[in-house]
Chain A
């Protein structure tokens, strides 16, 4: 029985279109009839509309009994107005004999139905579904600041809470996965490991799950549970393409400071179109720069630097370290062929990747040019390439089998000669 009820509930998204169509049609018909003084619509159609509306309201109520729905404003009012529409439609049928009352009741039912429909749409498609294109148009007009596009705290965490927390939070950890704090998200679950690939635009298991077909059994959220809206999944995609940053969004670096760098022939590049993180390379002026010049140029944008190359800048030495220490996001630093010394070694350990070739810290290691590990050696073992009788080039057409091995000859006559004394010719080979 409960299975049948569940099926009944699942019919809701399909059934709901019937009362919408029928009540609207009835409304238009009665409005026209009222203006012209015509009699009301045949009773059969009113009864059918009432039946559909009641049935739909009932299936909706049943669907809500299933777990996986987050109570919110839209759901609450969708349910209330939906049930009101069902009752209203039945009252319409009951009041049919009194044309004025019936028509007033119908007006009321159509109104509640429109409200229920709106909130239902909000639940499945998100709040701004209809006007989204217009908002985008407006957004295009405004000069878009690439700064702080997506924030974990502001944009992502609420979506994860609404759509994932039923099964992946403190209360329940399906697949060993929790998505309620940055730490748990990074830790990940049993199947995929870390849910996100921090610092990379792709390779995020969570996104693969979201983008799988709804029918796929690995798709998340599972079929039947509330799905992400297009807007939500776009937000998550954008956030992941930025490399899943959990911290507060980074503001764009000071434009004047960047211009100053470019005027000094320093290469400045955001690491991607969407990011405010910078890659700085002094390649063009390496031999001319010193600690002071670099410090003055980079100090205003120190928070934004993730990759920095000072390679070949022979005048750069330990005096650069106070500046380096003030770069919280620095991940890759090249000090190749600079005058940095062992005094800075400890401080440099803080940075994920540091290249130190040609400095006092990492003396050159002569490399063995042929340091290879051979696992196996092939051999050249051609079948006989010369006729054992004449020593001429073989022709595969003249092949015999002798003691299990194929032997080839140059012409049809040689095998005869061979059979006379095989050992003699094999020995000769």
Chain B
């Protein structure tokens, strides 16, 4: 064994960690049952029959205001400009952006709410979401989400990977790892990003990274324009045949390398080259919307013709869903309205409202909503007190992790219900809190996984999306 081999073997050995090696050795000696490990041995493939086969996750990056969209608080109007009582705030840690403010004046929403018929006694939704309101009988609105993080970066990382620390695998890559793909010609996990109108925060690619999972499970970013996947098309002068020959040769060499050092990343590389080769054919077919009829395009709104818009991404999301892609992640940026919220939020909702409602309806009529979970969420909520100057028609809202609203639809989630309640200031949860881990556990349950059994050994211990937390929220299941 030369030094090079030794190095690689050593690295893989320590990648597993001492406990990993010891555990594996014991495991093979005794069998998992005797160690009582049966329930924790990581497996792939569903544990039981799923109610959902895929996820479309619309992340509203920047955190939309629950107070102006979903969490109706008519009682707040009489507290206009009054100080937020300490009994409500309870010493809550604030961000550096408002912790120096002298006053925390209550800012009731300037938007009108209507009560729409759902499958319970109705749901109050903001006038800003008229199309989304037409989903009242399909959606499950959770008003009692909470998160641990108060700033965008850790909160996004928490929502997408199950922890605030960087380096773990994202939800979509867990799906790719656990379920594989239903379409061999497309990646299992696809990400699309649309730019919003307002204040935009950085969006790091590790939100769809694979962390410790083999890298073929990371999300594939689909871009707007003629080159949806960078470097996918053959350079000028290279024919598809030439590409094939080149790949065959490279794969042979890579396979030899794998036989020498058993690094799983070499196999990942081979499979990704092959995937890219097939995507040279499947991606143009996917992004070409000329076969969509006018009525469908009309549903999504006129923005659907603008590549890179949220509407265009929604239509692509439906096309990906019907082609068997497991996890479709849409990001719409620009919800971080620290000031000038009433004006900026209108720009945001007008960009997403019609298209997201169209997506759900389009999936529904094609029978795809039955087995697709729709999740619409920001990374946290926004504060009831105004950041900056409060006027009759204008205010800003700071970050608020203690409560916010998300909605789900399809895939075995109970339709037309509202779950959870907040206090009169939409500041604290009063009923049925749902943590990010709970949400992940519940979605994994719909996808056929016991969240405690979908794991991966890394650095000496088993890693999971929900780590050691999370309970399935049974009341929101069908």
Q: Is the CB of B48 within 8 A of A202?
A: yes
Q: Could you tell me the distance in whole angstroms from the C-beta of B200 to the nearest C-beta in chain A?
A: 29
Q: Which residue of B lies closest to A287 (CB)?
A: B285
Q: Is the CB of A374 within 8 A of B354?
A: no
A312 contacts chain B at the CB level, 8 A cutoff: yes
- The tally of residues in A whose CB lies under 8 Å from a CB in B reads 59
Instruction: Give the residues in chain A near B365, CB-CB below 8 Å.
Output: 357, 365, 367
Q: Is the CB of B322 within 8 A of A283?
A: yes
Identify B117's interface contact among A265, A281, A375, CB under 8 A.
Answer: A375
A334 contacts chain B at the CB level, 8 A cutoff: yes
6 further contact pairs, Cβ within 8 A, besides A369-B357, A375-B117: A284-B183, A336-B367, A369-B354, A374-B117, A378-B114, A382-B392
How many residue pairs link A and B with beta carbons under 8 A? The number is 164
What separation, in Å, do the CA atoms of A332 and B49 have in the docked complex? 13
Instruction: Give the residues in chain A near B130, CB-CB below 8 Å.
Output: 370, 372
Which residues of A approach B to under 8 Å, CB–CB?
A: 133, 136-137, 140, 199-202, 241, 243, 265, 267, 269-275, 279, 281, 283-284, 311-312, 332, 334, 336, 353, 355, 357-358, 364-367, 369-383, 385-386, 393-396, 406, 408
Instruction: Give the residues in chain A near B324, CB-CB below 8 Å.
Output: 267, 281, 283-284
Q: Is the CB of B391 within 8 A of A284?
A: no
Q: Is the CB of A396 within 8 A of B82?
A: yes
Q: Which residue of A lies closest to B132 (CB)?
A: A372
Instruction: Give the residues in chain A near B185, CB-CB below 8 Å.
Output: 265, 284
Q: Is the CB of B322 within 8 A of A382?
A: no
* Residue of A133, A273, A366, A393 with most chain B CB atoms under a 10 A cut-off: A273
Q: Could you tell me the distance in whole angstroms from the C-beta of A87 to the nearest C-beta in chain B?
A: 42
What separation, in Å, do the CA atoms of A202 and B357 have in the docked complex? 31
Q: Is the CB of A353 within 8 A of B112?
A: no
Instruction: Give the residues in chain B near A370, CB-CB below 8 Å.
Output: 130-131, 134
**A200 in contact with B367 given A265-B185, A267-B324 (CB within 8 Å):** no
Sample (23) of A-B pairs whose CB atoms are under 8 Å apart: A133-B34, A137-B33, A137-B34, A199-B49, A201-B49, A267-B181, A269-B46, A270-B45, A271-B50, A272-B50, A312-B322, A355-B366, A357-B365, A365-B365, A370-B131, A371-B134, A372-B130, A374-B115, A378-B74, A378-B124, A381-B77, A382-B77, A393-B392
Query: Chain A interface secondary structure, helix, strand, loop or mixed?
Result: loop
Q: What 9 A-B pairs are tightest by C-beta distance, nearest first?
A: A355-B367, A201-B48, A283-B324, A376-B115, A373-B117, A378-B113, A267-B182, A140-B31, A385-B392
Query: Chain B interface secondary structure, helix, strand, loop or mixed?
Result: loop
What separation, in Å, do the CA atoms of A200 and B49 have in the docked complex? 7
Q: Which residue of A lies closest to B390 (CB)?
A: A393
* Residue of A275, A279, A372, A395 with most chain B CB atoms under a 10 A cut-off: A372
Q: Is the CB of A283 within 8 A of B392?
A: no
B361 contacts chain A at the CB level, 8 A cutoff: yes
What separation, in Å, do the CA atoms of A122 and B122 have in the docked complex? 57
What separation, in Å, do the CA atoms of A372 and B367 have in the docked complex? 21
Q: Could you tell me the distance in whole angstroms from the C-beta of A427 to the nearest C-beta in chain B?
A: 20
Q: Which residue of B lies closest to A199 (CB)?
A: B49
What separation, in Å, do the CA atoms of A93 and B319 have in the docked complex? 88
B162 contacts chain A at the CB level, 8 A cutoff: no
Q: Could you tell me the distance in whole angstroms from the C-beta of A179 to the nearest C-beta in chain B?
A: 23
Q: Which residue of A lies closest to B180 (CB)?
A: A269
B80 contacts chain A at the CB level, 8 A cutoff: yes
Instruction: Give the residues in chain A near B32, CB-CB below 8 Å.
Output: 140
* Residue of B114, B354, B366, B367 with most chain A CB atoms under a 10 A cut-off: B367
Instruction: Give the residues in chain B near A269, CB-CB below 8 Å.
Output: 45-46, 179-180, 182
